[in-house]
């Protein structure tokens, strides 16, 4: 069976296009085929709405790690998050970690606000100061009702 050169060329182009789509998908979702060298830190939140494994961890707007695990503590009913922070980034022990949003309709990320402590967080340490996600719906209800109670009527 003889192949025409244009058939081989077309097949090669299809394979190249598929490879480009795979690379694009891996880069845009933040998926890594290899584990980056980082150290784990832990935090507990009342609400981790929008956070999932793979969510970016940022410091001053720069990605310094990712969320590696998200579980529920059955005793306290709080979300437990494990993040992996790049080696070489020393975070002060009194740093704050918070769930933040990129905008009204934007994605969610985890932000670290560095403290001023002389001591640094060590691998497997836990953040003491956390700020949970803020629900946009709850904020709108508070603005329209003028109350902290979401079920209040004006």
Q: Look at residue 150 and tell me whether its pLDDT is greater than 50.
A: no
Domain borders along the chain are 1-31, 38-142
Long-range contacts of 63-69 (CB under 8 A, 24+ apart): 64/89, 64/112, 65/38, 65/89, 66/30, 66/36, 67/110, 68/40
Q: Tens digit of pLDDT for each residue in 88-141? A: 888 888 888 888 877 666 678 888 888 888 888 888 888 888 887 666 666 677
Q: What is the pLDDT of residue 36?
A: 59
Rounded Cα gap, residues 90 and 59, in angstroms: 11
Q: Look at residue 22 and tell me whether its pLDDT is greater than 50.
A: yes
Spatial CA neighbour of 43 closest among 2, 83, 10, 75 = 83
Q: Which of 7-16, 21-30, 31-40, 95-104 has the highest mean pLDDT?
A: 7-16
Q: What is the pLDDT of residue 13?
A: 93
Average pLDDT, the chain: 81
Give the neighbor-by-neighbor strand order of the sheet with 129-131: 38-45, 78-86, 62-73, 56-59, 108-113, 96-101, 129-131
Q: Tens digit of pLDDT for each residue in 46-82? A: 888 888 888 888 888 888 888 888 889 889 899 899 9
């Amino acid at each position: 069976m003889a192949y025409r050169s244009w058939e081989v060329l077309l097949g090669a182009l299809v394979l190249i296009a598929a490879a480009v789509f795979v690379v694009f998908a891996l880069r845009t979702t933040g998926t890594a085929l290899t584990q980056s060298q980082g150290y784990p830190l832990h935090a507990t939140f009342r609400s981790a709405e929008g956070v999932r494994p793979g969510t970016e961890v940022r410091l001053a707007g720069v990605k310094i790690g990712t969320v590696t695990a998200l579980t529920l503590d059955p005793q306290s009913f709080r979300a437990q998050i494990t993040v992996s922070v790049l080696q070489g980034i020393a975070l002060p022990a009194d740093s704050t970690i918070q769930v933040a949003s990129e905008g009204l309709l934007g994605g969610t990320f985890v932000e670290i606000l560095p403290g001023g402590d002389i001591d640094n967080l060590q691998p497997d340490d836990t953040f003491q100061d956390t700020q949970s996600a803020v629900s946009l719906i709850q904020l709108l209800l508070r603005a329209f009702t003028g109350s902290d109670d979401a079920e209040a009527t004006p």
